[in-house]
């Protein structure tokens, strides 16, 4: 007897992912039943498991398009992009980009940015722990030294700039409050921070995302202000700092000597 | 006076130091209830892959949980049954978690879930033959070496068989144990589901199972679909209370192996904490019944 050939898992996976294909060869079922129905259990487990994972990760997107639409869209994503690791909390990284190119969702141009916000929430949930700076210790910094200081932001800090009011949309769908009409042409810049265990979502003034991104790149406060003002003449540093402090987004501020 | 028989629950376990009590699969939705009620639960089990982020609530809850209860870590992503080499990065993550938590047991599945760098998020079946045995043995050995401890391997739920299988599932598991010195996790629901789907006797399977290597039992509720002729096709869905037929099979298994750590798994359509806890309480009552039967036996053996 020759040694059995290696089990062709690739063929098994191809058939799992493509319902048009017949089940792989070599399957047996009791009483001579066709293997279709049995193999379909695995197909269904894979599909439902991953679609459910996306459903949990993007609950507001799901509400925005409705259950049936979301399932269909998530299914298309899943067929094209399977998880690369067994850590399902990382799954969906490219979902926002996929949504932005998903033809049937074109009528909801803000959907993709809401997906970006929801993915950031998941990232913040699992981010590294760090003790945030207290407002008092930030106030104690000499104001004239701040310009050349650099900041360490909390590892959970994410910012998302959108042409649409994504924070307001998200908030309305996450609460039981009655929906009020939103001005969809008013953009918002989202700030996500998880200083302790609770995630905080707030909005930054225009230019805030550019400001935070500059700080993340270890530019000084002075350089970050220049970058934000360059992006938006109306950049309001005071409001921006206040929001970042309220969200407890700073872990350290290093004053240059 | 005859030599008293050793009570089964006093056997030293090689891979697990879990108590012979009922435990519960931990869901973060239940954390507040568990904190508030300090329930008398034998242990908690977590899915390793949910605790591989850098920080945040999962780690805070885990830290709290393991200070109050024995902990079991159950991996769902090592893909032991695959022909490909293990994902070393993933094994390193598992090791980091196990080193940090020092759980009473670590278990994984006789199944595969990764192929060509793609994770399929399901426990897929493999043929049982010399070729797959070689892979499984190599993978179990590699994991045990990395974790520096023996692990438990769980029997899968089956929906079909492979023509290329030369071993029965039990023969295959025995060989894995013999060649790796790992131990076994007997999922009684999986036995019940597989027996129904593949038309064999669940009791006979339990009777043939190498119970001396079983260091944990899993119980869960299955979902029911229909076969082509309308017969039940059972699906291991962890979505319901443990069904009566599974409880009966569990009692039968206990009669063969003695009291052993028993987990209630309920991962989908997760119920309120009280409902889950009631399932653990029921398992605990069967364990208590088995424990007193073992004690009665050893007393009567001692006085004969």
Is A192 within 8 Å of A124 (Cβ atoms)?
yes
Tell me the pLDDT tens digit for each residue of B175-184: 999 999 999 9
Identify which of B106, B100, B54 has the alpha carbon closest to the alpha carbon of residue B77: B106
Structural domain boundaries, residue B179: 8-303
**Contact map slice: B 237-296 vs A, CB within 8 A:** 268
In-domain check, residue B262 = yes
DSSP state for residue B235 in the 8-state scheme: E
CA atoms of B225 and B233, how far apart (whole Å): 5
Is A29 within 8 Å of B161 (Cβ atoms)?
yes
In-domain check, residue B235 = yes
Identify which of A199, A120, A125, A115 has the alpha carbon closest to the alpha carbon of residue A159: A120
Q: Do A4 and B198 touch (CB under 8 A)?
A: no
Give chain B positions within 8 Å (CB) of A37. 227-228, 233
Higher pLDDT, A225 or B304: A225
In-domain check, residue A70 = yes
What would you report as the CA-atom Rg of chain A, rounded to the nearest whole angstrom? 24
Give A16's pLDDT tier (boundaries 50, 70, 90): very high
Segment (H or E) for B216: strand B214-220
Give chain B positions within 8 Å (CB) of A35. 160
A128 → closest Cβ in B50, B55, B225? B55
Give B67's pLDDT tier (boundaries 50, 70, 90): very high
Q: Do A129 and B228 touch (CB under 8 A)?
A: no
CA distance B69 to chain A (A): 22
Q: Do A126 and B127 touch (CB under 8 A)?
A: no
A2: pLDDT strictly greater than 60: no
DSSP reduced 3-state for A98: helix
A53: pLDDT strictly greater than 80: yes
Helices (DSSP H) in chain B: which residue ranges?
A: 31-37, 57-68, 88-101, 130-147, 169-180, 188-198, 202-208, 244-257, 273-303
pLDDT for the residue numbered B298: 78
The total of structural domains in chain A comes to 2
Do A71 and A168 lie in one domain? The reply is no
Give the mean pLDDT of B132-151: 98
Give chain A positions within 8 Å (CB) of B82. 9
A127 → closest Cβ in B54, B131, B227? B54
DSSP B118-135: EEEEEEE----SHHHHHH
In-domain check, residue B1 = no
In-domain check, residue A120 = no
- With b for 16 or more beta-carbon neighbours within 10 A and e for fewer, the A71-108 pattern comes to bebbeebbeebbbebbbbbbbbeebbebbeebeebeeb
Do A96 and A134 lie in one domain? The reply is no
| Contacting residues for B278 by C-beta, under 8 A, at least 6 apart | none
| Cβ atoms within 10 Å of A46's Cβ, excluding its own | 20
In-domain check, residue B209 = yes
**Contact map slice: B 105-144 vs A, CB within 8 A:** 112-122, 124-127, 129-132
pLDDT for the residue numbered B16: 96
B138: pLDDT strictly greater than 50: yes
Q: Do B82 and A9 touch (CB under 8 A)?
A: yes
Give A141's pLDDT tier (boundaries 50, 70, 90): confident
Give the mean pLDDT of B210-238: 95
* Pairing label, strands B152-154, B105-109: parallel
DSSP reduced 3-state for A186: coil
In-domain check, residue A3 = no
In-domain check, residue B266 = yes
B61: pLDDT strictly greater than 80: yes
What CATH number should be reported for the domain holding residue B140? 3.20.20.150
CA atoms of A164 and A113, how far apart (whole Å): 8
Do A15 and A53 lie in one domain? The reply is yes
- Is the Cβ of B92 closer than 8 Å to some Cβ of chain A? no
Give A5's pLDDT tier (boundaries 50, 70, 90): low
CA atoms of B222 and B240, how far apart (whole Å): 6
**Residue of B79, B93, B160, B166 to mutate, testing the A interface (most A Cβ within 10 Å of its Cβ):** B160
Give chain A positions within 8 Å (CB) of B59. 129
In-domain check, residue A17 = yes
Q: Do A5 and B131 touch (CB under 8 A)?
A: yes
Give chain B positions within 8 Å (CB) of A83. 118-119, 121
B9: pLDDT strictly greater than 60: no
Closest residue, chain B, to A35 (C-alpha): B160
In-domain check, residue A38 = yes
In-domain check, residue B279 = yes
Do A244 and A138 lie in one domain? The reply is yes
Give B8's pLDDT tier (boundaries 50, 70, 90): very low
A245: pLDDT strictly greater than 70: yes
Do A179 and A54 lie in one domain? The reply is no
B5: pLDDT strictly greater than 70: no
In-domain check, residue B38 = yes
B304: pLDDT strictly greater than 80: no
Give chain B positions within 8 Å (CB) of A131. none
**Contact map slice: B 30-49 vs A, CB within 8 A:** 49
Is A41 within 8 Å of B235 (Cβ atoms)?
yes
**Residue of B50, B55, B89, B129 to mutate, testing the A interface (most A Cβ within 10 Å of its Cβ):** B55
Do A139 and A205 lie in one domain? The reply is yes
Q: What is the mean pLDDT of chain B?
A: 94
Do A85 and A196 lie in one domain? The reply is no
Give chain A positions within 8 Å (CB) of B76. 86
Do A254 and A135 lie in one domain? The reply is yes
Give the mean pLDDT of B84-95: 97
In-domain check, residue B39 = yes
Q: Do A10 and B116 touch (CB under 8 A)?
A: yes
Do A35 and A94 lie in one domain? The reply is yes
Residue B207 to residues A30, B215, B216, B287: CA-CA distances in angstroms?
Answer: 22, 16, 16, 19
Reported pTM: 0.94
Tell me the pLDDT tens digit for each residue of A77-135: 999 999 999 999 999 999 999 999 999 999 999 999 999 999 999 999 999 999 999 88
Q: What is the mean pLDDT of chain A?
A: 94
The total of structural domains in chain B comes to 1
B122 → closest Cβ in A46, A126, A197? A46
Given phi > 0 = left and psi -120 to 50 = alpha, else beta, which region is A21?
beta
In-domain check, residue A232 = yes
Give B12's pLDDT tier (boundaries 50, 70, 90): low
Structural domain boundaries, residue A190: 128-257
In-domain check, residue A121 = no
Give chain A positions within 8 Å (CB) of B115. 9-10, 12-13
- Is the Cβ of B302 closer than 8 Å to some Cβ of chain A? no
Do A211 and A95 lie in one domain? The reply is no
B7: pLDDT strictly greater than 50: no
């Amino acid at each position: 007897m020759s040694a059995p050939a290696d089990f062709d898992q690739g063929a098994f996976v191809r058939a799992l992912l493509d319902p048009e294909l017949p089940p792989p060869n070599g399957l047996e079922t009791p009483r001579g039943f066709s293997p279709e129905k049995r193999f379909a259990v695995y197909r269904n487990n894979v599909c439902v498991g991953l679609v459910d994972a996306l459903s949990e990760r993007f609950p507001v997107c799901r509400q925005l398009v409705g259950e049936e639409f979301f399932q269909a869209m998530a299914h298309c994503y899943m067929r094209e992009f399977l998880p690369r690791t067994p850590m399902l909390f990382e799954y969906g990284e490219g979902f926002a980009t996929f949504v932005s190119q998903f033809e049937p969702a074109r009528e909801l141009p803000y959907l993709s940015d809401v997906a970006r916000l929801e993915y950031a929430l998941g990232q913040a949930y699992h981010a590294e722990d760090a003790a945030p700076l207290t407002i008092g210790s930030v106030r104690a910094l000499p104001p004239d030294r701040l310009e050349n200081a650099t900041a360490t932001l909390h590892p959970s800090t994410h910012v998302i700039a959108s042409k649409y009011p994504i924070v307001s949309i998200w908030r309305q769908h996450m609460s039981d409050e009655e929906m009020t009409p939103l001005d969809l042409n008013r953009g918002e810049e989202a700030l996500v921070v998880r200083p302790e265990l609770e995630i905080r979502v707030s909005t930054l003034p225009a230019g805030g995302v550019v400001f935070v991104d500059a700080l993340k790149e270890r530019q000084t406060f002075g350089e970050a202000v220049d970058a934000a003002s360059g992006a938006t003449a109306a950049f309001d540093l005071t409001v921006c700092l206040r929001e970042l402090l309220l969200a407890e987004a700073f872990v350290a501020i290093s004053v240059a000597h | 006076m005859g030599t008293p028989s050793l009570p089964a629950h006093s056997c030293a376990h090689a891979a697990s130091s879990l108590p012979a009590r009922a435990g519960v699969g931990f869901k973060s939705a239940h954390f507040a209830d568990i904190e508030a009620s300090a329930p008398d639960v034998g242990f908690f089990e977590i899915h390793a892959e949910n605790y591989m982020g850098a920080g945040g609530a999962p780690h805070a809850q885990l830290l709290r949980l393991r200070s109050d209860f024995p902990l079991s870590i159950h991996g769902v992503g090592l893909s032991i049954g695959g022909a490909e080499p293990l994902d070393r990065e993933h094994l390193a993550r598992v090791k980091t978690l196990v080193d940090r938590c020092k759980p009473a047991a670590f278990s994984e599945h006789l199944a595969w879930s990764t192929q060509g760098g793609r994770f399929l998020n399901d426990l897929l079946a493999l043929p049982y033959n010399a070729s797959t045995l070689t892979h499984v043995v190599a993978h179990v050995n590699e994991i045990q070496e990395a974790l520096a401890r023996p692990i438990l391997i769980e029997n899968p739920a089956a929906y079909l068989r492979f023509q290329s299988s030369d071993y029965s599932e039990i023969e295959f598991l025995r060989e894995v144990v013999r060649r790796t010195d790992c131990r076994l996790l007997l999922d009684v629901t999986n036995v019940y589901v597989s027996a129904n789907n593949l038309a064999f006797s669940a009791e006979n399977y339990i009777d043939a199972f190498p119970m001396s290597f079983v260091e944990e039992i899993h119980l869960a509720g299955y979902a029911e679909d229909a076969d082509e002729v309308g017969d039940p096709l059972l699906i291991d869905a962890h979505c319901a209370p443990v069904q009566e037929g599974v409880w009966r099979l569990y009692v039968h298994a206990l009669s063969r192996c003695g009291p052993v750590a028993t987990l209630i798994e309920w991962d989908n359509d997760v119920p309120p904490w009280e409902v889950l806890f009631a399932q653990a309480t029921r398992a605990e009552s069967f364990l208590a019944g088995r424990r007193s039967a073992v004690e009665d036996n050893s007393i009567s053996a001692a006085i004969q």
